[in-house]
Amino acid sequence: MFKPNPKDFNALDDEVIFSYRGANPNPEWFSDEPDQYAVECTVKADISMVKPEQSISYTNGRVRVLYQIDFDIVLLFGLTELKAQIAYMENGVEKRGPATVRYDNDSSIVWDQGPMGTMESQKIAIEKTSGELDRLVSEKEDLEGTWSVQETDLENIIRRQGVTIDKRNAEIQDLKAEYKEESNRRMELGIRVQALEKAQREATEGADKERTQLEKLKREFATMQQHAHTTTKLLKTRTEELLTAAQAFLTAADDYSGVDFSQMVVQLNDDIYHAGVLMAEAVIEPDAVEDIPEEGIMETVVKDLSDLGWTEGQIRRLQSDILEQDTILFEAMAQSILVHWCYYIVSSFCYDSRTVDRYFQELWDGIVTSTDAIIAKNWLSLTHSQLKKNRFDENRVMRSLGNVMFAVGWRASTPKKTDVAQQVGEKIGEICAKALKIKEMATQKILSADVRLFSYAPGTPYNPATMEDVYDSGKEAKEANPGQPILCSSGLGNVILKSKVVLASEVEI
């Protein structure tokens, strides 16, 4: 359907639908049997949603601009009554719209009226055709009326197109010049590509040589690996044989029992407790503490004691507690320092060098997991007997305890300073000697039992099964709740003896 104005496509004119009532099973043309066709109905629809397309035609040297729409009428059979739709394409997708079916009142009986019925139907068709012809003539007159305006518009379009063509020709010339420059650049790139390809070939040849050498090295490595595997297997067999033979001569006889060991630990804990009390009694003496410790000294003290697990707030609180004659925190800190150093003495291989100690500890961990327990304990005994030292550098312990004294403002001019230092030094000597004795018992004298020592870090949850809250500060004992954090360990423990701890709630920090 063509129209000069796209806005004219609003509604579909009545479209006549004929039905064939003849005997031919495959009718093709209306003109073959015109008397066998009758008007069945008419279809009307809104076609405003179908997008018109512009079409330019040339007739007798004249240019005409028309608009057309393409759609199909779809009839739906098999229902209670005949239904109709229009079908059209939009962006490559078929869409449909509604249509109305109208029936002629007499068309349903025209086929039973013989030739007269046929003539009536043809008359109706002719009248409709005449109406269509009148409409087309009217459209023709409208087209001729609008042609002059469209002709002027087309001339303007052609003129603008001519200007555009000239502009495009100029652009083509520019593109030709750019193409020539690009061709030159491509030629230069071609030369460079050839050079790169040559370099790539040379590199590939070098890589092939390297690959050949690598394959050769891999084969040599595989041979060496196989040889190493064979040697390792042989060494393992020989080692097992030697260990089996050595095991026959090893003994697990103990010089001390676990009870003896626990009693020695109890004595050590008592000495640690009394050392803390001795220091506390010294600092609560009249005029033993300065009003304010020097800040330079305090910074050094805080750094040293922080490495042992104490916070700056706890360290700076010491003086105020001592001035109030409260020694709980002071004693706990002193005792925990002694516990720390005693645990280090007993559990280390070499307490003079952390690097050497770490090496032997890693070696011991490997032996424990890969060797029989009796053989491992004998190795431990032999190793400690060779690393054995009779004394421990007690100055390290004295320096840490001295920092606790400085934190409370211990006066350098205190009359009893020399006596206190001597008494504490003697007590530290006894404690270190006992720690070395316990170390000897644990590593060389008791080989058949687990005699490890236990010490717990600050903040560890309290566990009544392995810990005992027995810090005696003169206060009435409080029942400890499992899970609450501890302030520190004030005594060592083992598998038989519970570790002594001070609960954080004792000092209410």
Helices (H), 3-108: none
- Which residue type is seen at 357? D
Structure tokens at 51: 């997008």
Pairing mode of beta strands 499-503, 467-468: parallel
- pLDDT for res 94: 92
Q: How far apart are alpha carbons 359 and 204 in whole angstroms?
A: 49
Q: How far apart are alpha carbons 115 and 204 in whole angstroms?
A: 96
Give residue 325's region: left, alpha or beta (phi > 0; psi -120 to 50).
Answer: left
Backbone angles phi, psi at 85, to 5 degrees: -140, 165
8 Å CB contact between 309 and 457: yes
Q: How far apart are alpha carbons 135 and 12 in whole angstroms?
A: 13
As a whole number of angstroms, the longest Cα–Cα distance in the chain is: 151
Residue 364's Cβ-count burial label (10 Å; 0-12, 13-18, 19+) is middle
Q: Give me the DSSP letters along 147-178.
A: HHHHHHHHHHHHHHHHHHHHHHHHHHHHHHHH
Q: How far apart are alpha carbons 387 and 376 in whole angstroms?
A: 16
Structure tokens at 272: 């640690």
Q: pLDDT by residue for the chain (509 residues), tens digit each?
A: 667 766 666 666 678 888 898 989 899 888 888 889 988 889 998 888 888 888 777 666 677 778 888 889 999 887 778 889 999 998 889 999 999 998 865 443 333 334 444 456 556 667 767 776 777 777 777 777 777 777 777 778 888 888 889 888 898 989 999 898 888 888 888 898 989 888 988 889 888 988 898 898 888 888 888 888 888 887 777 677 656 655 544 554 678 888 888 899 999 999 999 999 998 888 888 777 776 777 777 888 888 888 888 888 888 888 888 888 888 899 999 999 999 989 988 888 887 778 888 888 888 888 888 887 777 878 887 887 777 666 677 888 888 888 888 888 876 666 666 778 888 888 988 998 898 888 888 888 887 777 888 889 888 999 988 998 865 444 444 566 788 899 899 999 988 888 999 888 887 65
**DSSP classification of residue 480:** P
Q: How far apart are alpha carbons 451 and 496 in whole angstroms?
A: 9
Q: What is the pTM of this model?
A: 0.50
